[in-house]
Amino acid sequence: MKRWSFFILLLISSFGAFANFKIEGNILHSNSYESTIYLALLNHPQDFSVTSADFIVHQAQINSNGHFTIQGDDLPEDMRFYRLYVPKAETSTATFSSPARASLFLIMNNQSNISITTQGAMGIFDNVMIEGSDDSQQLYQFEEKLLQKKTELENAFSKNKLALAQKSLKRHVKNFINGVENPLIGLFALYQLTDHETDFLNDSNFYLDFQTRLQEKYPQSNYFLAYNSHLKDLVRFRNTVCQIPDSQHRFMQIIVWVESFVILLLIGVIVFLFRNRKSTASPSNSSFDLLLLTQKEREILDLIAAGKTNKEVALQLHVELSTVKTHVNNIYKKMGVSNRSAAIETFKKAL
């Protein structure tokens, strides 16, 4: 009887161990980064480009040899995206791009057992090998190639070169999406494309076909539901701007081109007249409604009005500096201003 009890307990403990996730690694760590590594859960495709302390689900210390272990049994059972990152010591923010890359995306669940090693010398996650998750390794390789394409964009020395680099990047991403087996990896790649609205007008079948692939494998996932909602928005956008019967497509296309030219001409005239006005005083924004701002934008505006720099705002809110800059640009657009001083003045008048 005791022997059977021993085997039963051993079997139960084995199942319990199998249900735990584990991420273990050896990374190239330096004093310019924190000694803590974080695991963040990304429940929405829009979270791919955002860092927030609210996303963190686990953390662990990195020892002097660069070794760390994160483990537990509380992650979702379905496959989801996670970001593994080490913040900069001064700013507490993650670095996404090469060469000083300190962030890594993973696709895993509560039963994953992942081992990470780095073989490079440029950043914490430079030249990474990921064992235990082929999807994560494939995702990493896609990111590395994508960073190369983005570098080509940044180094474009003329408009023609920039246009060619943009087409090359889009072609690379779409070819990767069409060829990758796991549509979750394809979803990550798809959200690296910009201006989905315009691209959907030219290639709607690509987005609709990908929806079918994602639904077949992950019909109940948060990612499919989010993409499905996004796709509905794209369809509504197309129906709004392109209600063109097939029989009249060519004729209506010419009309659209002519109307676009006239609109651009009018915009040019308005800009010309605006720039040549004798008075350069900005119109009063005293009637601006602060309710137009999101909660995060209002938090950032409060800090800006208090004299904080973008870097100080990012540090206080525990977000990426680029995220703060994006919010600041959105605030400017909503307020109808073009600089920090005007935004602060408008904000104070609206209080």
pLDDT in tens, 92-135: 555 444 445 788 999 999 999 999 998 766 678 888 999 999 99
Please tell me the pTM assigned to this model. 0.62
Domain final residue, candidates 95, 117, 133? 133
Q: Is residue 91 part of a domain?
A: yes
Task: Please check whether residues 124 and 26 belong to one and the same domain.
Answer: yes
So what's the pLDDT on residue 234?
92
Residue 235's domain spans which residues? 195-250
Q: Could you tell me whether strands 113-118 and 21-26 are parallel, antiparallel, or unpaired per DSSP bridges?
A: parallel
Q: Is residue 302 part of a domain?
A: yes
Considering the chain, what is the average pLDDT of its residues? 84
Terminal C-alpha separation, the chain:
77
Task: Please check whether residues 238 and 337 belong to one and the same domain.
Answer: no
Average pLDDT estimate for 80-101: 71
Centre a 10 Å sphere on the Cβ of residue 43 and count the other Cβ atoms it contains. 14
Task: Please check whether residues 306 and 232 belong to one and the same domain.
Answer: no
Q: Is residue 342 part of a domain?
A: yes
What number of residues does the chain have? 351
So what's the pLDDT on residue 279?
44
Helix extents (H) in the chain: 2-19, 134-154, 159-179, 183-190, 196-202, 204-217, 222-241, 249-275, 295-305, 310-317, 321-335, 340-350
Query: What is 310-348 written as a DSSP string?
Result: HHHHHHHHT--HHHHHHHHHHHHHHHT-SSHHHHHHHHH
Report the number of distinct structural domains present in the chain: 3
Instruction: Give the sheet arrangement for strand 128-131, strand by strand.
Output: 67-72, 21-26, 113-118, 128-131
Q: What is the pLDDT of residues 271-296, one digit of tens each?
A: 877 776 644 444 444 567 777 888 88
Whole-angstrom distance, CA of residue 82 vs CA of residue 72: 15
Cβ-based burial of 116 (10 A; exposed 0-12, middle 13-18, buried ≥19): buried
Token code pair at residue 70:
């994160």
Token code pair at residue 22:
């584990």
Average pLDDT estimate for 143-161: 88
Q: What is the pLDDT of residues 63-78, one digit of tens each?
A: 988 899 999 999 999 9
Token code pair at residue 92:
């507490």
So what's the pLDDT on residue 287?
63
CATH number of the domain that 63 lies in? 2.60.40
Q: Reduced to 3 states, what is the DSSP secondary structure of residue 40?
A: strand
Domain final residue, candidates 250, 282, 315? 250
Q: Is residue 5 part of a domain?
A: no
Whole-angstrom distance, CA of residue 278 vs CA of residue 288: 25
CATH number of the domain that 327 lies in? 1.10.10.10
Q: Is residue 99 part of a domain?
A: yes
Token code pair at residue 330:
């959105």
